[in-house]
Chain A
Amino acid sequence: MTNWDRFVDSFFNARVAAEYFPKILEGFWLTIVLALCIIVTGLVAGLGLAVVRAFAIRPLNLLIIFVVDLFRALPPLVIIALLYFGLPAAGLSMDGFTCAWLALAAVLMAFSEEIFWAGITAVPKGQWEAARSTGLGFLQTLRHVVLPQALRMTIPPLTNRTIAITKGTALASVVAVPDILGAANAGVSFSFNPTPLTMGAAAYLVLFLPVVILGRWIETRFAWKR
């Protein structure tokens, strides 16, 4: 066997690929589900916190800032490990999927809160005053005047941050979630051949390359116009 043949046999082994394709495909769907759960809960919670922060209630805002800084400072894997390996000691155990979901959603919540908040504060004070002077209430002004402008500004940084955190779904494999990486790793240990990892990488590309390209498009689209 030449080196080249050995290389192909290791990383592009057709027999192994065929055998583990269904598992990788299951992991692919699981990764998508996990990513969507993280994105939806993370962004909704982040926006919710930013809106609460707009009420400018001092103790509440200090709490929000503390929580946000906490989740921005902790490495996501540490949060996942704490939930998965730490909580059972406290008599509360969750499956790996839930742990990864909650941990990464909390991280996305923290980062997106900061981005939403920056957007809200970037809307000129005159917009608030004009709206309030016509009799609109605080929440009405936020909803109809301020947030539409703020969200527009936040789309490019939010897209990038969301992509970055969503890629962290691969961390779920550490806590026994059969996502793409989890399935690939399992395949490698059963077959003694790294081909499943090649397939895993391909699956991530198929999943994230379009998202990255979409993000680039959104970024240029919303960057100059305002």
Chain B
Amino acid sequence: MAIVEATGIHKHFGALHVLKGVDLVVHEKELVFVIGPSGSGKSTLLRCLNRLEEPSGGSIIVDGVDMLSPRTDINKARQRIGMVFQSFNLYPHMTALGNVTLALRKVLKLGRAEAEERGQAALKRVHLEDRADHFPGQLSGGQQQRVAIARAIALEPRVMLFDEPTSALDPELVGGVLEAMRELRRDGMTMVVVSHEMAFAKAAADRVVFMADGMIVEQGTPAEVFGNPQHERTRAFIGQIDRH
């Protein structure tokens, strides 16, 4: 079953044509890994999927809901789409638990006790149940990003979008975040991940999508895309990555 069905997505920023007809289908429990050079439109694509960015054209169906229809309650639709950002974007004035429970209380309208119970459970899934009372400023980058993951999964989304979740982290903190993502995947979460962590892609991705210049150039299993890329641009990009 397709959870995400994006067809013919275009995005213009003024005169800049950033997405040029992207088709992306993500099936249930699939982990799709998106790679590509800087500026190729990976973040923009992800942000179009939950309409943080308004696509200029195309259609996006997530979990059966037409995201671009004016009749769709966008706030309701977004509950089913978790998003994790490169810069964490935790609320600095709230504790870890406060960050996780805000949407539970204000969007799902749960009572405090129930929200906190669910929030604690979400923090436990990222192994931060003992940091519930800490403010973001008192947590390491890796811990902050795991709180951000907990904040998203607490709403029990149907799909999770990750935009370079480990790029802002010191190398020794990357592992914990990737581990949390691996556990999510093991529990059957559908995921779209934009990242440069090629080892993670090789180990965990079902499919790798290579984007360049606002288009999907090539996609396939990690073995296909990394081992035997078909297009010149893919070869050049992967060669570049491997040298790092």
Interface secondary structure of A, over-half rule: helix
CB-CB under 8 A from A135, the residues of chain B are 75-76, 78-79, 103, 107, 155
The chain A residues found within 8 Å of chain B, CB to CB, are 124, 126-127, 129-137, 140, 144-145, 148-149, 152, 226
6 tightest Cβ-Cβ pairs between the two chains A and B: A130-B89, A134-B103, A126-B89, A135-B79, A133-B83, A135-B107
Contact of B78 among A132, A140, A144, A152 (CB under 8 A): A132
The chain B residues found within 8 Å of chain A, CB to CB, are 50, 52, 75-76, 78-79, 81-83, 85, 87, 89-93, 102-103, 106-107, 148, 151-152, 155
User: A126-B85, A130-B85, A136-B106 are known contacts. Are A148 and B93 too (CB-CB below 8 A)?
Assistant: yes
> Are B89 and A134 in contact, with the CB atoms below 8 A?
no
> Are B92 and A134 in contact, with the CB atoms below 8 A?
no
> Are A134 and B102 in contact, with the CB atoms below 8 A?
yes
User: What is the count of residue pairs linking A and B with beta-carbon distances less than 8 angstroms?
Assistant: 64
Q: How far is the CA of A216 from the CA of B207 in the complex (A)?
A: 59
CB-CB under 8 A from A131, the residues of chain B are 91, 102-103
Q: How far is the CA of A126 from the CA of B87 in the complex (A)?
A: 8
CB-CB under 8 A from A144, the residues of chain B are 102, 106
B76 nearest CB across to chain A (Å): 7
CB-CB under 8 A from A133, the residues of chain B are 50, 52, 78, 81-83, 152
CB-CB under 8 A from B148, the residues of chain A are 130
A174 nearest CB across to chain B (Å): 43
Q: How far is the CA of A134 from the CA of B80 in the complex (A)?
A: 8
Closest to B102 in A: A144
20 residue pairs bridging A and B, Cβ less than 8 Å apart: A124-B89, A126-B89, A130-B85, A130-B148, A131-B103, A132-B78, A133-B50, A133-B82, A134-B82, A134-B102, A134-B103, A134-B152, A135-B78, A135-B107, A135-B155, A136-B107, A140-B107, A145-B91, A148-B93, A149-B93
